[in-house]
A and B are shown apart, each in its own frame.
Chain A
Amino acid sequence: AQKVTQAQTEISVVEKEDVTLDCVYETRDTTYYLFWYKQPPSGELVFLIRRNSFDEQNEISGRYSWNFQKSTSSFNFTITASQVVDSAVYFCALSEDNYGQNFVFGPGTRLSVLP
């Protein structure tokens, strides 16, 4: 069965610092999909990125970047020059199929960005 581990329960940084959120996953499938979601205090889950297992290219979107390494089963998320608005709980998630029925979330990392 698939599993997602986010070892960092809480992280605090000062504004403008860079921060990396770790995600390690387990799956027996060769085809799978990885996601990051942001959950601000308002509660909704905001989609950040989807990556399929065949695409190991790193991705950058503004201040956000993702490092996918199949060799270590990791999909880490870095925020550059963090801002107070980045404060939220961040979830890494894994789906083993394209139908999204087996969608497993990690326990989340609470990021606090202090002014």
Chain B
Amino acid sequence: GAGVSQSPRYKVAKRGQDVALRCDPISGHVSLFWYQQALGQGPEFLTYFQNEAQLDKSGLPSDRFFAERPEGSVSTLKIQRTQQEDSAVYLCASSQGGRLEGYGYTFGSGTRLTVV
């Protein structure tokens, strides 16, 4: 597609529920990133994929967070046993190569997760 697509756009989960957030990067983009943006704050890095390889997951806040990109295109961020502090916008971004291009990343519009 023309841009990075994320679904769902909004998700309300009951505390303790598992959720799965999807990211469709720009076709052919090698690198894919997940960020968490709490209300009123800047995005914070969660994890990075180069093709299907998860090269950095240092930003994942706990072992309840898991991300995968099995075929090197679509990625899913899964949060198990959601808690209220998981409420945030989850942003996905992709870039063409393993290197930053002149345009940095292309970001999706995010999934706003609210845990009640």
List chain A positions with a Cβ less than 8 A from chain B.
4, 33, 35, 37, 42-47, 50, 91, 93, 95, 98-108
Given A100-B33, A100-B95, the answer on whether A35 and B104 have CB atoms closer than 8 Å is yes
Report yes or no: B104 in contact with A105, Cβ–Cβ below 8 A: no
Other A-B pairs, 14, CB within 8 Å; known A101-B55, A101-B56: A4-B42, A37-B107, A44-B3, A44-B108, A45-B107, A50-B103, A99-B98, A99-B100, A100-B99, A103-B45, A103-B105, A105-B44, A107-B41, A108-B42
B80 touches A (CB below 8 Å): no
What number of residue pairs across chains A and B have CB atoms under 8 A from each other?
68
Report yes or no: A50 in contact with B107, Cβ–Cβ below 8 A: no
List chain B positions with a Cβ less than 8 A from chain A.
3, 31, 33, 35, 40-45, 48, 55-56, 89, 91, 93, 95, 98-100, 102-110, 112
Report yes or no: B45 in contact with A104, Cβ–Cβ below 8 A: yes
Report yes or no: B105 in contact with A91, Cβ–Cβ below 8 A: no
A-side contacts of B103, CB under 8 Å: 47, 50
Q: Determine how close the nearest CB of chain B comes to the CB of A104; give it in whole angstroms.
A: 7
Q: Which residue of B lies closest to A42 (CB)?
A: B109
B-side contacts of A44, CB under 8 Å: 3, 107-110
The complex places the Cα of A101 from the Cα of B50 at a distance, in Å, of: 10
B-side contacts of A33, CB under 8 Å: 100
Q: List 30 A-B contacts (CB under 8 A).
A: A4-B42, A33-B100, A37-B104, A43-B112, A44-B108, A45-B93, A47-B103, A47-B104, A47-B105, A50-B100, A50-B102, A50-B104, A91-B43, A93-B42, A95-B100, A98-B99, A100-B31, A100-B48, A100-B95, A100-B100, A100-B104, A100-B105, A101-B45, A103-B45, A105-B44, A106-B42, A107-B41, A107-B42, A108-B40, A108-B41
